Amino acid sequence: MKRIACCLFALLTTANVFAQRNLTDIPDPDPAKELETFLVAEGFEVNLYASDPAIAKPIQMNFDAEGRLWVASSSVYPQIEPGQTADDKIVVLMDKDGDGVAETSRVFADGLLIPTGVLPGDGGVYVANSTELLHMRDTDGDGKADETRVVLSGFGTEDTHHILHTLRWGHDGNMYFNQSIYIHSHVETPYGVQRLDGGGIWRFRPETMQLDVLCKGFVNPWGHHFNRYGANFATDGAYMEGINYVFPGSVFVSSPNARRLLNGLNPGSPKHCGLEILSGGALPDDWQGNCITNDFRAHRVCRFILDEEGSGYSSRQGEELIKTSHVAFRPVDVKMGPDGAIYIADWYNPIIQHGEVDFRDERRDQTHGRIWRVTRKDMKPLQRQEIVGASEPELFELLTAQEEWVRLWAKLTLKARGADVVLPELEPWAANLDGNDPLYLQKKLEVLWIYQNLDIPNEPLLSELLVCDDHNIRAAAVRVLSQWSDRLAQPLDMLEVAVTDAHPRVRLEAVCGLAKLNSLDATQTALLALDYPMDRFLDFALWSTLNDLAPAWLPKAVKGEVAIEKSPEKWLYAFAAVESGEVVAPALALLSAPNVADGARRQTLDLAAQRGNPEQLRRLLDIVLDETSAADAERRAELLNTLSSAFEKRKVKPAGDLTPVGELLDAHSDAVAIAAANAVGQWQVAELRDELAALANAESASVQAAALNALAQLKAKADLTALADKAESAQLRQAATAALVGVAPKEAAQRTVTLLAAAKPAAAGELLAPFLARKGGQATLAAALADAKLSGDVAKMAIRAVRSSPQPEEGLIAALGKSGGVGQGEAKAWTDEELAAITKAIPGGDPARGELIFRRTELSCTKCHSIGPAGGLVGPNLISLGASAQPDYVVESLLRPSAKLKENYNSQILLLDDGRVISGIPVRKTAEELFLRDAEDKEIAVPIEAIEEQKEGQSLMPAGAVDQLTTEEIVDLAAFLAQLGKVGPYAISPAPIVRRWDALEMTPEGNGRLNRTSSDTASTDDAALTWNSRYSKVDGTLPLDELPQLQPHRISPHLSFVRFNLNVAKAGKITLDFGDVTGLKLWDGEKPKPIEKRMTFDWPAGEKRITLEIDRDVRKTPVKVEVIEAESTGRAEPIGGK
């Protein structure tokens, strides 16, 4: 088994006390000293609003209608000590004179246990307190809670930083709150028990006690907010995709048993906590509607700029609002205040790790905390609006305010006064609105939301806004329609208009709303969305709605009560959305229907192959076998592979005689022959052993491998033995021996020892791989090595392969060492003293040299880890490692990778029913399959039914991965890692810089193809060319000395070729900055263009590719490319990832 030495896999995953026991950087807790370190966005300034002892350890905060700031705080976090009295608090702060500093601090409630949310409302304050949502009131006017009511209970408490949190009021009068991945909630309401396993966002109507789930997923979502039109956005403190666009029914990473997931808007972005969407007259126009959130690991308050994109939004990062090198600055929440300023809750702690550091570590700060206030220098703070004492007409006028806080509390105040008081004033006010007022529609939307707050449907007003000119307001109105649908006369008719709206976001909201109407008519209406362009958000929403509506439409479709032949593409979309195999029969009926397009027929065959019963699969197999009914060889192979997959996943194969598949083993197409061999092996067609044995002698290595694998599945010992002993090709003999491992392990082991004795050292790992991947394989090979003699180098490489395997067995290691006369290759056992010495030396290390070490091919760090948006996914993203972890933690993670492992990066070892052993990091799990990411960064789908045993594994970073480095190199590497994310040259710029590239490898085939053609071929997808990933340095440059060089002609210059891809989210002119263009040539797609320092491309939406030729005889400096957003009318982002 080939293993990548993921050089840093344990970074951010080791969970031990050593991690910060050498932490000496405990800063002076004086807020003034902390403030001095702040680097603030141009034009802004920061002042201290409140600090300890008035508050300590703020977790969440919210302003009330009087402008008071309510703060939930906890000194008990992360875990109460035995015998300790829980005494966490809700504190109320007030700036009475409007000078931006809180003069008064009052403890409203104490005796709480880790309150993680606070939200004023309904005559008191709601508090998230462990398993309960409480409502606390002061009934006697002394400023302290004297009445506590349990509103809801049954929320999970499996992890104290995942419990109920992030309380917020919506425009609609509902309360929203979040929970995180390790929580399982079962909440009793008058409408039944509501459940949410894992993360998600709840929606709650306190006056009716109606509770439901808005969305599912996320890891630790501590940010949620709405824009001016009620669209939802969220951030996650443990999931690296920046801003997430949320809509009803959306599902994100880590949702248990989810079949589909949505991604965030900023892949590769750091983890964020809290979220505010800016508004108001105290901020510049270009900051309106921007998202502010906190990168608490890297001591930053970040800004993201939202743009509309299709049915959703795109997001790009702007300059930070605040950044600092102060290790204790930990911003966790952000809110806009009644004065238009931005308020930031600073948890203040040099140690933030929840599980990575001892709960009782004495350096955990339990007493400090701050609230910072950020204002624009050239703009005056706003006068706080009087809300509580305002009349109803005065509150109506406040609905036009720029400030979201004012509009929200105006509505909530009206809600509290009730319909009997409000409606007599509201109706004439709304009727007299000026239709020529630019804010007319916005006012109408606010009026609609007042009706929603009062829980009184207003169908005429709703109908008016559903067809107004502003698509944002139409979309908001559809959301209201969805929530009122059970009380409207004709909700389906209204949603049909919306689902055919000209704007995709209106259609998305309509599709989501139709999920609540349990009928075939609702399903057919939802499918109308397919008459218009789809995007990823709409596609997910429609897929989700069709699943929700399946009980209403699926039985009728199965019974033939739906005329699917009239809209075959739409119904095939619906059939594909659900998991049921019942859809195959009505789908197959389309094959004999007239006027069904080829695309629909193709979909039908694919669906039947995936879901069909034996008889239905036989019908498909006959189509594959009939050359006249199959479009081409590629399509036949594709269908045959899907049929094989059905057996692997569901243990279902075509009915009847399967020997005719043997005809396809002799196909002229390698793809068909490979698919046929796979099918023969899966279906156990033993009669075709001879044909498989003959196929194993094919010229193609891929065809050979498929034939050998099929023979192994048939337990064809004699055929495999003959091939292992007598095949003319040494490569085939070795491959046959590997296949024999699963059939006759002792015989395979004897032959493998013979191969090892004659092998070169580099081949040792490949020869051992089949034994390392099977139960009992290592013991069998060890026995065969009893009297063997191997070269020392072969033995060393073999031992290295064993130690890198998921379950290295000492017996095999000892046998290899004895046979080669070498030691057992143990990883160096680093002592605490050695680790401490390296940690102490880090300040003198060279981060620049360390970055080059990190990028060495033999260490494979970039194959496992990203730094920002580009790199591997096996291990954690290291973008803010240095800012979030202390140097000693970095050192131990490098040198003791498997000391302890954190959740989410524990490898799992699976023993399958066919004897194979598979290991990897769990990615997701459905009812049918477990998905793992292996050490090669490949995602593997494992059928649940095939797993016989599952247990925890070690780190995928092999022990000793960096032992080859000198101590000085280890210090330099640690110095680089310890700087990542800190203010300075090793913080990833938010600018849209190309960070992931493909480089053309130097191969005889590739060099020869360029020789026979021209450099233009490098801009194509020519099969003779081999491309592999490369990544820019932290500063965005791509070093030339890491690139392969080709020389197509003896007299031509040495050339390197690289390419990158851009996602053009919005069509228009896109400007790219190439900097120094010496020695460069450029192709836009496959079209050559003269290169300039700055070039503007007029591109439609979609993915675009740029290829560069680099004349290495002329150019000596790195390459760097950046999208210049300020000069672009369109919008494009470099594509990252692996």
pLDDT tens digit string along 942-993?
888 888 888 887 666 766 678 778 999 999 999 999 999 998 999 999 899 9
Distance CA 502, CA 472 (A): 12
pLDDT for 345 equals 98
Residue 464's pLDDT is 98
- Choose the most confident range, by mean pLDDT, from 22-36, 361-375, 762-776: 762-776
For the segment(s) 37-376, the CATH number from 2.120.10.30, 3.30.1510.10, 3.40.30.10, 3.60.15.10 is: 2.120.10.30
Region 772-786: mean pLDDT is: 95
Give the alpha-carbon dihedral of 870, 873, 876, 882, to 10 degrees: -20
3-state SS, one letter per residue, for 806-819: CCCCHHHHHHHHHH
Average pLDDT over residues 181-205: 96
pLDDT band, residue 918 (cuts 50/70/90): confident
- Identify the pLDDT of residue 16: 35
Tokens of 901: 């492992």
Asked if residue 91 has pLDDT above 50, the reply is yes
877-895 burial string, b = 16+ CB within 10 Å, else e? bbbbbbbbbbbbbbbbbbb
Tell me, what's the pLDDT at 348?
A: 94
pLDDT at 10: 42
Confidence check: pLDDT of 628 > 80 = no
Confidence at residue 193, expressed as pLDDT on a 0 to 100 scale: 97
pLDDT in tens, 854-891: 999 888 888 888 999 998 888 888 898 888 877 888 88
What is the predicted pLDDT for the residue at 946? 87
Q: From CA 735, how far away is CA 720, in angstroms rounded?
A: 9
pTM of the model as a whole: 0.88
Assess contact for 288 and 515: CB atoms under 8 A.
Answer: no
By C-alpha distance, which of 305, 335, 370, 294 is closest to 168?
A: 335
Q: Is the pLDDT of residue 129 over 80?
A: yes
Fold classified for 1-36+833-902+967-985: Cytochrome Bc1 Complex; Chain D, domain 2 (1.10.760)
pLDDT digits (tens, 9 = 90+) for 792-822: 999 999 998 898 887 889 999 999 999 999 8
Average pLDDT for residues 14-27, to the nearest whole number?
49
Q: Cα–Cα distances in Å, from 974 out to 63, 373, 402, 882?
A: 43, 36, 49, 9
**Burial class of residue 689 in the structure, from the number of CB atoms within 10 Å of its CB (0-12 exposed, 13-18 middle, 19+ buried):** middle
CA distance 208 to 189: 10
pLDDT reading at 3 higher than 70: no
What percent of the chain lies above the pLDDT cut of 70?
A: 95
- pLDDT tens digit string along 846-859? 999 999 999 998 88
CATH number, span 907-952: 2.30.30.100
Domain residues of the chain, as ranges? 1-36+833-902+967-985, 37-376, 418-563, 564-611, 613-739, 741-826, 907-952, 996-1134
Residues sharing a CB contact under 8 Å with residue 723, sequence separation 6 or more, in sequence order: 693, 696, 708, 732, 733, 736
pLDDT, position 67: 97
Given this model, what pLDDT does residue 161 score?
A: 77
Top CATH class, 996-1134: mainly beta
Residue 86 burial (CB < 10 Å; 0-12/13-18/19+)? middle
- Point out which residues pair with 344 in neighbouring strands: 334, 372
Using alpha carbons, list the distances in angstroms from residue 467 to 172, 290, 473, 500, 538: 20, 28, 9, 12, 20
Is-contact 6 861, C-beta < 8 A?
yes
Tell me what the mean pLDDT of segment 550-559 comes to. Answer: 96
Query: In this predicted model, what pLDDT tens digit does every residue of 635-689 receive, in sequence order?
Result: 889 999 999 988 988 899 999 999 999 999 988 899 999 999 999 999 999 999 9
| The predicted structure's pLDDT at residue 450 | 98
Tens digit of each residue's pLDDT (9 = 90 or more) over 287-341:
999 999 999 999 999 999 999 999 999 999 999 999 999 999 999 999 999 999 9
| Structure confidence at residue 577 as a pLDDT band (50, 70, 90) | very high
Average pLDDT over residues 594-623: 89
Fold equal for 37-376 and 907-952: no
Provide the CATH topology of domain 418-563: Leucine-rich Repeat Variant (1.25.10)
Average pLDDT in the chain: 92
Question: What pLDDT, in 10s, does the model give residues 319-333?
Answer: 999 999 999 999 999
| Cα–Cα distance list, 340 to 304, 373, 405, 574, 786 (Å) | 19, 10, 9, 48, 79
The pairs formed by 601-610 with CB atoms below 8 angstroms and a separation of 24 or more are: 602/635, 603/569, 603/572, 603/576, 604/568, 604/572, 605/639, 606/639, 606/642, 607/572, 607/575, 607/576, 607/583, 608/584, 609/639, 609/642, 609/643, 609/645, 609/646, 610/642, 610/645, 610/646
- Secondary-structure class of domain 613-739 per CATH: mainly alpha
Q: Residue 96: its pLDDT value, please?
A: 93
Q: Does the structure show a pLDDT above 50 at 6?
A: no
- Give the sign of the dihedral formed by CA 832, CA 833, CA 835, CA 836: positive
**Quick count: other Cβ atoms within 10 Å of Cβ 616?**
21
- Confidence class for position 5, pLDDT limits 50, 70, 90: very low
Q: Which residues contact 189 (CB under 8 A, 6 or more apart)?
A: 152, 209, 210, 211
Find all residues with CB under 8 Å of 1004, minimum gap 6, and list them: none
Mean pLDDT is lowest, of 4-13, 58-67, 208-217, for 4-13
Does 898 have pLDDT greater than 80? no
Question: pLDDT at position 903, please?
Answer: 59
> What was the pLDDT predicted at 758?
93
